[in-house]
Structure 1
C-alpha cells in the first residue's frame, strides 16, 4: 500500500480546492441571471412612448404608471433605473444596446408628494451612470368639490381636490374656458374666473393639466335642475323662519346669489336645542309634488336613493367659529317617521366672510333608527297624507349658544349619477 506524506496530502488538497474554485467560477459566469459586465457607461439620448402612434416623438415628461422606451447607447447590461431616486423594476429581456423599456412606478416621488423632487431619470450599469432631465407628472387632476355650484360669469369659483399641478386650463359646460386660473402650491385647490357663455346643462367642469383631463364625478356639475325652493319663483314654503322678515335679499356681510334667500340670524341654542327660527321647512300641504320628477332620466322613481343628494348654497357671517354647527336635512316617509341626516358645516363652508358655498347631504344617510329610503320613489311618496317635506335645520352641537348669521338658497335634489 502506498503511503501518503503530509506534503503529498497538502498538494492533493490544494489541487481539489483549485478545481472546486474553478468549477464555482465557471458556474457564476454561466448564471443567466447575473448582470453582465458592460463595455461602457450608459448614454441616454431620448425618451419615447410605447404608443406606436407616438413612437417618433421624444419627450421629457410622463405620468405615473406610464411605460416608456429609453433610447441611447450601452443599455443592454443596464443594472438600475431610477426616477427621482426611486428604483424601477424592468425586464432585462427588453433591454438592447440602444433601447430599454421600463414602467414608471406608481410610488415615484412627484411634486404632489415631495416639493423638491430632482426630476431626474438615472440609468446605471457596471461602468457608470447616465443622468437625464425627466419630469414625472402626478396623476390627472381630481375635483372633489366646487365652492359654489350656482356661480355666475365674472365670479370666482374655487375647486377643491388633488393634483392641481401644471394646469393648462379650466373648461366650463358649453366648452368655454375660464380665466385667471391659479392653483395653490400644494395642488389641493384652484381658483378660476367664470367666463360668459356657460351652459350648466351641457356637461361638467374639467381641469386639464400636463397629466391629462379631470374625470366627471358627482362634484363636477354646476346647478341646472332639481330645484325644490329658491325663495323667488319656486317657493313651497311650509313653516319655520318668519317669511315676512327672514326671506330676504339682503343681510349684513352677505350678497344675494340671485334674488331672495332664507336667513337664519340668531343665537343658535346649544346642546341641540330647538327653535323654529333656525328651521326652513318646504312643503305643499295640498299634496302637490315638490320634489323634481323631470328630466325623467335624472329623476327615475326606481333609481336607488344612493344616487341622490340634497344640496343648497350656504353663506355664514357674524360667528366666531363653525365648530359644532351642522346642517340637518329632514323628510317624512310613508309612515310619518321623520328621517334625518346631518353634515358638519365646516366640511363645506370654508370661511365665515359671507361667501357662498355648496353643501351636499347624501339622501342615503336619511334615517330614523333602521328606517331608510330605498329608492327615489320613496321620497316622492311623502307621508301618510301624501305631503312632501324638505327641511333644513341648523343644529348647534356645542353646549353653549352660538350667535351666527346664516343664509340658505337653492334647496334642491341632485342626481349625482345620471349625466
Structure 2
C-alpha cells in the first residue's frame, strides 16, 4: 500500500473531493475504476478525506478502519453482501463519503457475482439457430465463446432477472467442447454438465448408430427439419385416452449395445437426448427403462410442474402443457432411475446399465393423472449416456 498515505499539514481540512478509485496494488495505480467486484479492496483517492466517518456503497454503510483513513486516501473492502443489480434492480451504483467538512459522492458500479450456467437449450444447435442459456447473473455480458474459440459479441437477449440469455448460434463451429459466458464479473463454463456438439457417449443417433429393435415402424424414421440426420417421430393425430399403454407406435425399443466401460457413481452420469414436441403435451408418461420390465426406469412427465423429480412416480396435480421451440436437450441424471416401478433401489454404479437395452415408451395413466391427449407429436434423436460431474 506504499504511496497511499500522506501527512496532513494544513490546519484547516479541505472540503472532501474524490479524484479516483483504484486498486491498492501500485502496479494498477493509474487505473481509475468505474466498477468493482464483491470482496475487492479499493483505495479512494482525493483530498479532504482525513475526517471521513462514514462510507456507503449502494446504500450500505461499510466498515471503516481509521488506520486506513488519511487526507489523501481511504482504503475499504467491498463486502460480499453489498447490493448489486442482481439483488436490487434499482440499485444506485453510488459511493458516498461523509466527512466533518461535507459529503462527496461518485458513480461506482458494484458488479454482481460471476455468471453461473445451469442449462443450455440445445447441445446440437446449428448456425443461425436461437440458443438459450439458463442460470444466474447474466449481467454485463461481454461475449459467449463456443468450441474452437468461435465468439458472439452482440445480440444478447437477457430476461429481466438475468436468469436467461438467448443468442443466435454463429456459423463455423466444427469442434466439440464447452460454451463459456464472459461478463465483467468473470467467466463461466457450461461443462461438464453440458457440452456442445459432442457425440461422446452416443448410444443411438438413428444414423450410423442405430440399435433400434421394435416399436415404431419404418414410417417413423424422418429427416425433414431434423437436428442431425435421421430421427424418430412418434405421432398420432387421434385422441389417446387415459389408461392407454404400450402402443407400438409410441415405443422406441433399443437393443443392448457395446459397453463403453463406464465406471463410477450413477450421480456422475445422465441420460441425454434431444426432443422436439410440436403440439402441446398435456398428459402422458415417457417411461425410460434399462434392461427389462423390472429394470431401472424413470417417468418423464415434462408437463407436470412443481415436481420433486426424486419421486417421479407420484402425481402432484399441477400441470402445464409442454411444447418446445424446436429441438431441445433433455438431461436426466441416472441416479433418479429406480427399479420395480419406482419402489426399488436407484442405480448405484453406472456400470450396472452400461451396454444394456434402453426403451422409451409412452403411457397415459389412469385419471386423475391421465387426461386425454388430443394429438401426440414427439420427435427424438441422439440418445446418449454422458458424464456430467
Fold shared, TM-score > 0.5 on shorter chain: yes
1: CA distance between counterparts of 2:49 and 2:304?
52
Is 1:389 the equivalent of 2:348?
no
- Structure 1 Cα separation of the partners of residues 102 and 72 of structure 2: 16
Contact 2:49 2:69 survives alignment (8 Å): yes
Q: Which residue of 2 aligns with 1:177?
A: 151
Residues 131 and 374 (structure 1), Cα distance of their counterparts in 2 relative to 1, 3 Å cut: same
Give the number of equivalent residue pairs: 353
Correspondence list, 1:327-342, <5 A: 327-332=286-291, 337-342=294-299
Residue 99 of structure 1 corresponds to 73
- Residue 28 of structure 2 is aligned to residue 69 of structure 1: no
Aligned 8 A contact 1:241 1:264 in 2: yes
Give the structure with the higher percent helix.
Answer: 1
The residue number in structure 1 matching 2:172 is 197
Partner of 1:49: 23
Q: CA 1:127/1:179 → structure 2, altered by over 3 Å: closer, same or farther?
A: closer
Please state how far the C-alpha of 1:372 moved relative to its aligned partner.
2.6
Of 163-172 and 270-279, deviating more is 270-279
1:347 & 1:194 partners in 2: Cα distance?
30
Q: Distance in 2 between matches of 1:347 and 1:137?
A: 37
Deviations 1:187-236 (A, max 9, x none): 222222222332443x3111111212113433441131111111111110
Contact 1:200/1:221 (8 A) holds in 2? no
1:147 to 2:121 alignment = yes
Larger-Rg structure:
1
**Alignment counterpart, residue 281 of structure 1, candidates 240, 253, 256:** 253
Aligned to 2:268: 307
1:147-199 Cα deviation digits (max 9, x unpaired): 11011223221111222222111111111113653132422222222223324
Residues in 2 aligned to 1:85 and 1:407: alpha-carbon distance in whole angstroms: 52
CA contact (8 A) 2:159 2:165 kept: no
Deviates more, 1:72-81 or 1:401-410: 72-81
Distance 1:263 1:70, change over 3 A: same
For residue 128 of structure 1, report the CA deviation from its aligned partner.
Answer: 2.5
CA contact (8 A) 1:179 1:192 kept: no
What TM-score results when the alignment is normalised by the length of structure 2?
Answer: 0.81
In structure 2, what is the equivalent of residue 228 of structure 1? Answer: 203
* Whole-Å separation in 2 of the counterparts to 1:276 and 1:64: 57
| SS of match in other structure, 2:189 | coil
Matched, 1:411 2:383: yes
Contact 2:246 2:361 in 1 (8 A): no
**CA RMSD, aligned part only?**
2.8
Deviation at 1:99, TM superposition (A): 1.7
Say if 1:312 and 1:359, in contact at 8 Å, map to a contact too.
yes
Q: List structure 1 segments (4+ residues) > 6 angstroms apart after TM superposition.
A: 347-351
Distance in 2 between residues matched to 1:326 and 1:125, nearest whole Å: 67
Question: Where does the alignment leave 5 or more consecutive residues of structure 2 unmatched?
Answer: 1-11, 306-319
Q: Describe the superposition over 1:114-171 as per-residue Cα deviations: whole angstroms up to 9, x where unpaired.
A: 2222221111234322111111111222211111101122322111122222211111
Report the alpha carbon displacement of residue 92 of structure 1 after superposing the two structures with TM.
2.5
